[in-house]
Amino acid sequence: MDDTPIGRAAQQAVEAMNRAGEGLPRPARTRVMVVANQKGGVGKTTTTVNLAASLALHGARVLVVDLDPQGNASTALGVDHHAEVPSIYDVLVESKPLSEVVQPVRDVEGLFCAPATIDLAGAEIELVSLVARESRLQRALEAYDQPLDYILIDCPPSLGLLTVNALVAGAEVLIPIQCEYYALEGLGQLLRNVELVKGHLNPRLHVSTIILTMYDGRTRLASQVAEEVRGHFGKEVLRTNIPRSVRISEAPSYGQTVLTYDPGSSGSLSYLEAAREIALRDPHVQQAQQAQQAQQAQQIQQAQQAQEVQQAQQVQQAQQVHQAQQHSGMAEGTQ
Ligand SMILES: Nc1ncnc2c1ncn2[C@@H]1O[C@H](COP(=O)(O)OP(=O)(O)OP(=O)(O)O)[C@@H](O)[C@H]1O
Ligand SMILES: [Mg+2]
């Protein structure tokens, strides 16, 4: 954690949470998560930056790739992204190495951002005529040699070439769904695109995580939407809902995530909890946990078996002693 007052406050909030449980496992290899929903304003950017900060505060090294010409993720992370700054546009269109555009995020150690500038607005059209237009981000990420635990890609609200580049580069799709009427509308189209990219360009791609945002527990509509989404997607939906919170919406105007803006707020704690769920859902971590549980079960079984053998031996010895006593009694009687 950077040694600034807000940095320290955020770190203290995480330490308070971690005291309740053990620290979080880090993934065996970099998890690339594509935050997508072509519907506007559902909480993609808010979720990207706050989850990224939460994971970094939990000790992971995290890169946010801002793939939206609006540059909202760069703003929220307080990263410079005026027109002259080297940006993700240069990476996609000019083949600039990613390492030349990545900037560290102030206040949160281990968090980095590849910013988006207004240039990116033209990229959808400029990419069309370029070689390997769908896999330019994937190539850039593969060539990036800094160790990372997570890469979170913030997509624009469309299903154009920028989003396709994200879907080709990542393995996991994270879909934020706003708890409001029409929440599921348009999702079919996103899911069809995920299937198309999976079928033709990226066989590893799958929807791994759904997160319910702007949840207002006081309204029936929110709980109805949550129920519907859970019914539809099941285990992909995180148990933690992100509440509607003024602190979450205020934070970007200070160039901060809610984690540093108001570490103890419900919004901050819910993103930390969502990050914990995501870290524990890592397929590799789950496999390791299952292997550990199986090993423990085997050890218990072996210990039980050893105990049974020992008991049987004791019974046998007692019987032998008894028989020997009877024998010597009988011998004495015959004398
Ligand atoms: N949990 C929340 N509580 C209150 N306001 C929120 C919450 N999440 C997001 N917002 C606000 O809702 C608006 C839309 O959020 P955000 O920008 O994250 O959505 P988006 O899906 O990235 O939008 P776009 O499609 O334009 O990229 C923003 O003003 C943001 O501050
Ligand atoms: Mg956005």
pLDDT recorded at residue 333:
59
Range with lowest mean pLDDT among 36-50, 126-140, 292-306: 292-306
Buried b (16+ CB within 10 A) or exposed e, 157-188: bebebbbbbbbbbbbbbbbbbbbeeebeeebe
Tell me what pLDDT residue 16 has. Answer: 58
Q: Which residues of 260-278 are buried (b: 16+ CB within 10 A; e: fewer)?
A: bbbbebebbbbbbbbbbeb
Domain ranges of the chain: 5-281, 284-335
Ligand 1 binding pocket includes 186 (Cβ within 6 Å): no
4-8, 266-270, 305-309, 318-322 — which is least confidently predicted? 4-8
Read off the pLDDT of each residue in 269-288 and give the average, rounded to a whole number: 86
pLDDT tens-digit readout, 288-318 = 777 788 888 888 889 899 999 999 999 999 9
User: Which CATH number does 5-281 carry?
Assistant: 3.40.50.300
Q: Is residue 331 very low, low, confident or very high in pLDDT (cuts 50, 70, 90)?
A: low
Please identify which residue in the block is written with the tokens 């809610």: 258
Q: What is the mean pLDDT of residues 70-98?
A: 96
**Environment class of residue 259 by beta-carbon count within 10 Å: exposed (0-12), middle (13-18) or buried (19+)?**
buried
- Cβ neighbors of 140 (< 8 A, separation 6 or more) are 91, 92, 97, 98
Distance CA 66, CA 113 (A): 7
Q: With 80 as the cut, is the pLDDT of residue 1 above it?
A: no
Distance from residue 178's CA to the centre of ligand 2 (Å): 13
Most informative mutation of 34, 35, 38, 46 for ligand 1 (most atoms within 8 A of CB): 46
Ligand 1 touching residue 69 (CB < 6 A): no
The stretch 172-198 carries a mean pLDDT of: 92
Q: Which of 212, 216, 242, 249 to mutate to test the pocket of ligand 1 (most atoms within 8 A of CB)?
A: 249
pTM: 0.84
Ligand 2 mean position, distance from CA 176 (Å) = 11
At residue 159, does pLDDT exceed 70? yes
- Please report the atom of ligand 1 found closest to the CA of residue 249: 31
* Percent residues over pLDDT 90 in the chain: 75
Which residue's C-alpha comes closest to atom 8 of ligand 1? 43
pLDDT confidence tier of residue 184, bands split at 50, 70 and 90? confident
The residue ranking higher by pLDDT, 183 or 92, is 92
* Rounded average pLDDT over 87-110: 96
The residue whose CA has the least distance to atom 31 of ligand 1 is 249
Out of 162-166, 287-291, 323-327, least confident range: 287-291
CB 105 within 8 A of CB 77: yes
Nearest CA to ligand 1 atom 29: 249
pLDDT of residue 39: 93
Rounded CA-CA distance 267/247 in Å is 7
